[in-house]
Structures are given as structure tokens and as C-alpha cells.
Structure 1
Amino acid sequence: MGEMSSFQLGVIGALFLSVASSVSIVICNKALMSKLGFPFATTLTSWHLMVTFCTLHVAQRLNFFESKSTDAKTVILFGILNGVSIGLLNLSLGFNSIGFYQMTKLAIIPFTVLLETLFLNKQFSRKIKFSLFLLLVGVGIASITDLQLNSLGSILSVLAIITTCVGQILTNTIQKRLNVSSTQLLYQSAPFQAAVLFVSGPLVDQFLTNQNVFAYKYSPLVLAFIVLSCLIAVAVNFSTFLVIGKTSPVTYQVLGHLKTCLVLAFGYTLLHDPFTERNIIGILIAIWGMGLYSYFCTQEGKKKQPTDVSLASQIKDKDTTPLLAGKSMGLSDKETHEAKKSTKDSVV
């Protein structure tokens, strides 16, 4: 039970860090791009990843975590895929209206559910699906304004959805398959993500903004906000891998839409962005959907616990039974391992 409590506290801490850091970086970047006129989003993201890797490298040298050898090919392809997905999302925003871009982000949840159902045999109850539907409706009402379609923008959006979903599912599966922590996986993959964006970022940004990042005149205030943005990004990148590893890609996307609602609210409060009754209604519906999702996930987790406790009790009985008698209890070594793993992972 103590291990279960510490696991739950770890999940709560990861969720809080993800929300706090993501909302902070959005506000920081919005001030940097809208108020200070620094429009180079993709290049800035490559700097985020480079600073993240350097920070983790220092932490590893100071023995804050242990670097673990992994399947190099898997990690390289994973890093490149994530870098490409970030670039495609930025291109999607550049070629589509803000409303259609928001639709692209909303489509990530149902597509992730579809992929996990088809390829990972994961089952989602009707209650979970209903709560996700409410969430998507609420975020859509709150954030979508216009829906201007074009062929190139639509293709980029579809590619962005596919690569983002696959990348987030792989984040979860690779951590479990290679038995690595979120920190270890981020440390291994960040250089490859940064390399993809460092090479493509200036080209993408110049194509979208008609400005050259290397010809930009950097004032001390702009440099200060860039440094602040990179420092916050360390927490954002770390918490992203942490949340997906401890929960699931769908839960991470739900959390992402909570961040959207908070950003809208903070934008109105701090930056005096336009805010209407439609925004308020949408945010309330979205929060309702998030609340139901959390409640239903918790209820389904509790339903699993009696089975897990029963299995754990059987394991304990076997461990305390004499060796010869233990042969007749019926639990093999493999079943014992699976039962212990089930007990640890019973929380969604």
C-alpha cells in the first residue's frame, strides 16, 4: 500500500509540474512573440531541446540519475520522429487558420484512442469515451473561431496528428519495453530531436515569417525572455515524458486541453486578451469533461484493486509457505511476476 501511495503522489506531482510549466512557457512565449516581435517558434523549440539535453547531461554527471544503455536505433528513430512532429505542428499552424489548427490538436485524442485500440488492444469504456467527448466539445467551443480549409494545410495537419500520436504512444511503450525512466529516455532522445529542429527550424521559420533568425536584432529584453523560455522548457520536456510514462498518452492529451483552458483564462487575466461568454461556456464544459474523465479513471482503477490485492495476498501466502507445500499452491514464477507488476500499475 505504501508503494501504491508513493506511485499516486508521483502521478499527482508529474501532472502538477506539467500544467504549471506548460502554462508558464505559453505565457512567456506569447509575450516573446506577440509583444517583443520574436516569431521564430521552431528555432526556439530547438534551443529548448538543446538546453534540456545540456541540463540533463550536467545532472547525469552529478549522479542525479544513471545513464542507461538502450537500443540506439529505437531511440534515434524516436527522437527524429518527435522532432518531425514538432516541425509539422508548426507548419500546420503556419498554413492553416487558428481555428483549424485547434481542430488538429483536438483530433489527437480520438486518433490516439483509435491507435491504442487497434494496435495495443487497449479498451476504453463508454463512460471514458463520453467524458472525452465532453472535453473535446468544450475545448472546441472555447478555442475554435474560424475553419478555413486548404489542401496543403490539411495534409500537414493529418501528418502532424499521425506523428504526434505515434510519438506519444511510443514514449509510453518504449519506457516500459526498455525499462528506462522518463529522465533516461529524454536524455537519450533529446539530442536527435534538437538536431532535426536545429537544421530545419531556421528554414521553416523563414518560410513562414519571411524573416531570418540570424539577421534578427536581439535586444537584452528579448535575450532574457529566450533564456527564461529555455529554462522553463526543461521542466516542460521532463514533465511530458514523466506524465506519459506514469499514465497514458490519452491522459496527457486531456491534460493538454486543461492547459489550453488555463492559458485562455490567464491570457484574459494577465494579457487582456478578448474573452466572451462562449469562451466561458466552453471552458466550463471542458472542465466538466476533465472532471468526469478523472473520476471514471479513478473508479475503474479501484475496481482493479480488489483483484490486485487478492493476487498480492496469494503471493504473500506462497512466500510464507514451506517450499514443499508451496509447490501445490499453483502460482508459477511468471504468474508471481505478473501479479506484482499488476499491483504496481493498477492506477490509470
Structure 2
Amino acid sequence: MESEKKPRISNVGAWGMNIVSSVGIIMVNKQVMSSSGYGFCFATTLTGFHFTVTAIIGWISNATGYSESKQVPLWELIWFSIVANMSITGMNFSLMLNSVGFYQISKLSMIPVVCVMEWILNSKNYSNRVIMAVFVVALGVGVCTVTDVEVNVKGFICAAVAVFCTSLQQITIGSFQKKYNIGSFELLSKTAPIQAVSLLLVGPVVDYYLNGQLLLNYQFSYGAIIFILLSCSLAVVCNMSQYLCIGRFSAVSFQVLGHMKTVCVLILGWILFDSALTAKNILGMMLAVLGMVIYSWAIEFDKHTNTKASPVKLSRVEQLEEDTSLLKTKSNGIEGRDVELGQTKS
């Protein structure tokens, strides 16, 4: 019983760490980048800072022997980093070029895209219960977040690139951990330096295109530096917990249960920043939470069903083996008696 409880406690801890750090970093970044806060409107460069701190912590961890460094081909790390950076850049451009409503719809579309990609790449099938739960979650989040929807060609292309790359990134995280038997933090430590260097080089250019402001012209205050460091610290926990969750569960589960962060952000925005919270938002949040409960039940139900089905198949195979061995024993016994009778007769 104790061995069964420990994984559940650690799984809940991983989800809790991801939700708390994700919601926390959104609140901190809102203060860092908003005009009413410190006005640091360089989102891509800030992400480069995040991965720089992550890379430093990973290097310290490896140098002190706290974590083990395993071999992963360099070309796969570079390929993964390119996909991850395209995901970040695509999301930033999608938010700039599209309306908030279409941006939210594009984020919701990650769930079916991940499902389809898991089916194509890993031959993974989903039960009708899981599909229904995913639909309820997407509907609930859509009701509470989607407002106006405006689409343009450039915005649509950026959103499509962002959704595809983000989905592929999350699937690849789980695949790499299984393929190379590498832990979540060790994998993050290997990819973070590549992402940090590339984002710090490309980030200022991308941010200039997004907001027309140069990073060199920004006046860093003590408050801004403190909040940027806090954002970087939360980003380390957020990235680590993301790799941890996807390694333990799946990209689909991460997307579905991850929408709990959207609900928390809406509630905290209403409490801390006086954001509007309408009856439509509340109805959508209740529907989303219901969908998450259904999804959790569907996953557990499928696990129990598969667990019960597998012993039946094994018992049938064992029964066939037993029947075969019994027949062989009987036939050998008959042959032996015939020989003995022949010998007696002679």
C-alpha cells in the first residue's frame, strides 16, 4: 500500500508545482511587462534570461554531482531547441498579430493536435470517454476565455506554427526521457544552454519587431531587476515541472489538466488586478473543472480496464501452455506403457 501511495503523492506534487509556478510567473511577468508596472516589454529576451538562469543552475547541479549527465546526441538537442524556440516565438507573434479570442482558440487547439500527433507518431489510441472529457475541457476554457475572434493570414500562419511546434515539443520531451532514460532536470539542463544562447541572440530583434523598442534603451531599475530575477526563478521551477509532468504522464494530460492554470489566472486576475469576472467566465470555469474531473476519471477507468484485461489474456496463454504440456505428458505416458508391455510380452 505504501508503494502505491508514494507515486500518487509525487504526481500530485509535480502537478501542484507546475500550476503554482506557472500562475506565479504569469502574475510576476504581468508586473514586469505591463505599462503600469516596469514596462519591460521584451518577452522573447525575457525568455532568454529564463533559460540562461536554468542553464546556470543545471551546470552547477552537474558540477557538484547532484544530477547525472547522460549522453544525448547533439543534433537531437539542437533540433529540439529549434522547435522549442519556434514555439516561443510563434506564440509571441500570434499574440501580437491576432485578437485575444483567436489566440485563445489556437491554444485550445493544442489538445486535439497533440492527440493526433500522438496517434501518428506513437500509435496511441484514446477511448470515447477521454475524447468526451477533452471536448468538455476545451469547451469550458473556450467559454470563459474566448471573446472577439479576428483572423488574418500572417496571424493564422504564426498561430499554426506555434501550435504545431509546441505540440511537437511536448511530445518530444516524453520521447527523449524514455529513449535515453534521462531525468527531467537532466534533459532540461542539456537543452537550456542552447535555447538561452539562441534566444538572447534572436530575442532583441524579435522584440524590436513586436514593439518597436530597443532593449539597449530600457532603463533598468532595482525593482525591475528584482522582479526579472523572480521571474527567472519561477521559470526554472516551471520548466522543470513541465518536463517532470510530461515525463510522468503524457502531453495530452499535461494540456488538459494544464488548463487549470487558466482558471487560476482568471481568479487571481480578478482578485489582484481587478479584472472583470462575469457569469460567462464563471460558467466556463465550472465547465472546464468538470471536464478535468471527467478526464481524470476516464484515464483511471481506462487504466483499470487495461489492468483487468491483461491478466485474462495471460491466464489464457498460461492455460494453453498447461494444456499443451499436459497432452505431451499423457502422450509420453502412453508411449512408455506400450514399450513396457512390449518388453513384457517378449
Deviation at 1:75, TM superposition (A): 1.6
Per the alignment, residue 231 of structure 2 pairs with: 229
1:302 CA displacement: 2.2
Q: Following the alignment from structure 1 to structure 2, what is the Cα–Cα distance between the partners of residues 159 and 68?
A: 31
Distance 1:4 1:176, change over 3 A: farther
| Matching of residue 6 in structure 1 with residue 6 in structure 2 | yes
Quick one: which amino acid aligns to residue 197 of structure 2? A
Deviation, 1:113, is 0.5
User: Is 1:302–2:329 an aligned residue pair?
Assistant: no
1:287-326 equivalence runs, <5 A: 287-306=289-308
Distance 1:78 1:184, change over 3 A: same
Identity level (%):
36
Structure 2 letter corresponding to 1:221 = G
RMSD (Å) for aligned C-alpha atoms = 2.1
* Structure 2 unpaired stretches of 5+: 316-324, 326-346
Matched residue, 2:190: 188
Q: Distance in 1 between matches of 2:3 and 2:221?
A: 50
Farther-moved stretch of structure 1 (302-311 vs 116-125): 302-311
Read off the aligned partner of 1:99 and give its amino acid letter: G
- 1:273 & 1:19 partners in 2: Cα distance? 20
2:140 aligned residue (138, 141, 144): 138
Per-residue CA deviation, residues 181-227 of structure 1 (Å, 9 max, x unaligned), is: 11111111111122221121111111111111121011111111101
CA gap of 1:72–1:309, structure 2 versus 1, over 3 A, is farther
Aligned equivalent of 1:175:
177
TM-superposed deviation, 1:157: 0.6
Q: Does the 8 Å CA contact 1:83/1:194 hold for their aligned counterparts?
A: no
What amino acid is aligned across from residue 273 of structure 2 in structure 1?
L
Secondary structure of the residue aligned to 1:21 is: helix
What SS does structure 2 have at the residue aligned with 1:70? Answer: coil
Matched, 1:15 2:15: yes
CA–CA distance in 1 between the matches of 2:132 and 2:49? Answer: 39
Asked whether the equivalents of residues 86 and 161 of structure 2 are also in contact (C-alpha less than 8 Å), the reply is no
The answer as to 2:113 corresponding to 1:124 is no
Runs of 4+ in structure 1 deviating by more than 2 angstroms, as ranges, are 1-10, 302-313
Please report the TM-score for the alignment, with normalisation by the length of structure 1. 0.86
The one of 152, 177, 181 aligned to 2:154: 152
Q: Distance in 2 between matches of 1:254 and 1:62?
A: 37
Match of 1:75 in 2: 77
* Distance apart, 1:81 and its partner CA: 1.2
Q: Which residue of 2 aligns with 1:332?
A: none
Q: CA deviation at 1:57?
A: 1.3
CA distance in 1, matches of 2:126, 2:60: 41
Matched, 1:40 2:42: yes
Q: Distance in 2 between matches of 1:310 and 1:73?
A: 44
2:26 counterpart residue number: 26
Letter of the 1:246 partner, please give it: R
Q: Are the equivalent residues in 2 in contact too, given 1:83–1:192 (CA < 8 A)?
A: no
Report what 1:209 is aligned to.
211
Larger Rg: 2
Q: Distance in 1 between matches of 2:231 and 2:311?
A: 45
**Residue 64 (structure 2) pairs with residue 62 (structure 1):** yes
Change (3 A) 1:308 1:270: farther
| Cα displacement string for residues 79-103 of structure 1 (whole angstroms, at most 9, x for unaligned residues) | 2211121111111111111111111
Alpha-carbon distance between aligned partners in 1 of 2:173 and 2:28, rounded to the nearest angstrom: 26
| Residue type at the aligned position of 1:58 | I
SS of residue paired to 2:216: coil
- Shifted more, 31-40 versus 264-273: the winner is 31-40
2:16 partner letter: F
**Residue 268 of structure 2 corresponds to residue 271 of structure 1:** no
